[in-house]
Chain A
């Protein structure tokens, strides 16, 4: 009897170690597999929505880094998203750039804007930064309208989405989807690397105790500005993709609600987790779609209720919830199926983590 008890005790632990060792690569590979299979299963309009979700996911991922690792409450992520979208649209429509070439520019412009927002954040506490960035979010559509010579005001900018290259015989929407997947994968890898190496550690130290961190040699100015720059670059890239997907930008797409939506995505998915960003993006893209038929107010109600409920019940979001529930589910499953569960356990865990 004691030997079986020991084996029972050992197995989940070794499984857990294996999970942490491969935590980066296995879910990522699974997610890529899902991404490749999706176009085969989904109708066109759903695929476009998934592409939109991926674009939004980039902005959410950026906020995730900022909120989860740097502890900075930036409510202006929608403004940076708009920054990227308008950079792409203006460069394509008025500068005659090829659409793909504008994406790095979109990321760079948003990163610069993010650093400008980050500068006051060096001195402001969490609450004060939230107040200032809330103002920025509300001001965004007004600023777009004000510079109407560049942004064409209320009418917005229309431009042709990029066609797939001649050597690649695919539908245009599939090409756009592939672009989004590539960008999302690149950013996810970058984010994972960043959170696991020294810079991530430095950011977390700054979040938990700035005084101790700086006295241990962490450069607060550099680390925090870098966090803002990278987070904003993600948002800008997402915005650029968003503009390309729609072939159209207008101030209506970048009301204050956009910033709040990105925050909701981050919270629901789980701040401080990369897979959570994608889960959150699916939530904010698809839930309003489904609820709008019933009542226009329902989406807002669900959003509000979700924000509050998440903070009361699961501060680490759906991903965190899944992680906490997973061991309980495993042990239950183990009781039901007394043998052969150890091999299945890590697999089911991965599924839960990478369900987007």
Chain B
């Protein structure tokens, strides 16, 4: 393991600390009383006061911060007022469907975006290229939850090919489980596919007259081999990077698409908690999403430095 990789691994800790601090600042320092927010307008002053004691809101800010960081480090995110259960347990139950959906959507984005980008770069300047570019631009403007509704209308209501929502556990019926994932994964993945398509088209066109490509072509290498062995290899790094950076949006989108497709993930938990003004659960959900994003960014950075050894010296 090189020092660059090691340094990158160590850098995760301060980022997570900053993320935790921001969550603390949102809950504890913004104007308004968090206890009053959680209990709603019908709460009596006595109820608010008792919740304030329970949440330790009457202690000084510095003390609260240190206690909060300590609890966070142990994985304790407080107890939900409405579910009357630890937030971390609620998150652990819900995180798997969300992650599944995010990964499935990423696969859809790669499966659609990569061939589209290659095709556009091979036929640059033609009608096909312009159509793909236009579609890629339009795709990023579509809200995943709206696309999910349209897909449900078409494939579930009119054609009846796929279930409109809900989820079957993988253990009881794997086929039904996969079927229930198709529509949400498409709804979330198709808008994302525009990003790798645009990046891939750009990087492939940029190196169309690079020396090593010209040499490869001149020595009679078949175009297919040039593409696979040389051009795609170089385009792999920017494409991986851009997919990694869009993972945060992917998680945010997954949470919303879930509520449309009725998947039992973090999104459903969040939607319920918004209605109940359950601040600690909302805080837990955004912390979980941010932590996942930090870990994915780390993975992407390590992947990229594996794909392109030069990066080790430049980025870290």
Interaction A to B? no
Name B residues whose Cβ lies closer than 8 Å to a Cβ of A.
Answer: none
